[in-house]
Structure 1
């Protein structure tokens, strides 16, 4: 893997002793766990013009059961991951390629199973790869866990569900049923049934703060209402 290094910011894949991991926590399935790598990744520092370790980083551990007996299969598994890491994501998060990055190889001393050490790229709830690794956004977990209102009208609820199924990234808008008593200061504007209002609870927006990574409401949001006359019929 080290022979694949082509750029100063490519990842140096290394052997990582198992005692380098703190707070190892198994996720729900597939041999995954999360942990804190004490020494951390060797990353190129442009100011010092050398690689320095970024200590105490969160990583994903993928344990390959009985891999001590099938070393070729383990090797192929490890080669499937990327060592390409571009710091350009600081300026444009959307360029991240969505491929888990391999940091190194380790071994569980109790079972002798080998472990692939990856960037924190797998959902802690379902162990699937995050749709957006940089934002820790797992579409099925985030969308399915939302507690939203229902209109009581089958067609409207089906339409809302259809719109929610179109969500592909964390910045997409979550269409939902909004009870009318959620609106304050309703003021008609012009013609054609338009009005402005303040939506008390506000829309659901994804919080990218690394301590949260979840949807939160932006309260007291100004919105435009368009009334469709006789639409109940």
Structure 2
């Protein structure tokens, strides 16, 4: 694909143009979700990290329930589109932006349809890589960064959070106290 049309905002072939040429290649099956993803991609003129993408569910594996409110941990085969440089970010062979950090850990959170899709997505604590759909449960899920918001790395609190379902003291107050203590264990 040869891209000839320049972005009206950037006056060059930028991320936004690359994404727009790929709009016909995917759909979530939900118009609101498609529009949300497209809006993030159209706005990603200079910083591709601002863009979300449609992530086919079969590109995720080792999906494991980790916390209440339908939060799961998974591996994402393809990784995120997290960088852009004008000299070499577009792969002409597969007609896509170059991806980095393949086979990464991500969090999956089921989208609550009782709220507006946009408000739910914008309030999430971690970077939204994209959205997927579980064909078994028929739920749309956000694919989120698995890094701690406070320290921006996979830290002790993330490790402890993954283990919350593996134990109980049989006392909800004690469990909550221990979990809160563990969640504050950044980098210790």
TM tier, shorter chain? 0.5 to 0.7
The alpha-carbon distance between structure 1 residues 46 and 17, as it changes in their structure 2 partners (threshold 3 A), is: same
| Equivalent of 2:99 in 48, 53, 56 | 53
The alpha-carbon distance between structure 1 residues 119 and 33, as it changes in their structure 2 partners (threshold 3 A), is: same
**Is the Cα–Cα contact under 8 Å of residues 132 and 138 in structure 1 kept in the other structure?**
no
**CA shift for structure 1 position 9:** 4.2
Q: Which residue of 2 aligns with 1:106?
A: 132
Structure 2, unaligned stretches of length 5 or more?
A: 1-39, 90-96, 162-180
- What secondary structure, in the 3-state scheme, does the structure 2 residue paired with 1:27 have? strand
Q: Which residue of 1 aligns with 2:123?
A: 80
| Equivalent of 1:17 in 43, 56, 62 | 56
Structure with the bigger RCO (C-alpha within 8 Å, sep 6+) is 2
The alpha-carbon distance between structure 1 residues 44 and 133, as it changes in their structure 2 partners (threshold 3 A), is: closer
Instruction: Name the larger-Rg structure.
Output: 1
**CA shift for structure 1 position 11:** 3.3
1:42 aligns with 2:81: yes
| Equivalent of 2:151 in 132, 138, 146 | 132
**CA shift for structure 1 position 47:** 8.5
Q: Which residue of 2 aligns with 1:188?
A: none
The alpha-carbon distance between structure 1 residues 3 and 24, as it changes in their structure 2 partners (threshold 3 A), is: same
1:151-178 per-residue CA deviation (whole Å, 9 max, x = no partner) reads: xxxxxxxxxxxxx9xx8853xxxxxxxx
**Is the Cα–Cα contact under 8 Å of residues 11 and 42 in structure 1 kept in the other structure?**
no
Q: Size of the alignment, in residue pairs?
A: 120
Q: Whose helix proportion is higher, 1 or 2?
A: 2
1:64 aligns with 2:90: no
The alpha-carbon distance between structure 1 residues 18 and 169, as it changes in their structure 2 partners (threshold 3 A), is: closer
Give distance in 2, aligned partners of 1:75 and 1:115. 13
**Is the Cα–Cα contact under 8 Å of residues 102 and 119 in structure 1 kept in the other structure?**
yes
Structure 1, unaligned stretches of length 5 or more?
A: 82-98, 122-128, 143-163, 171-205, 207-233
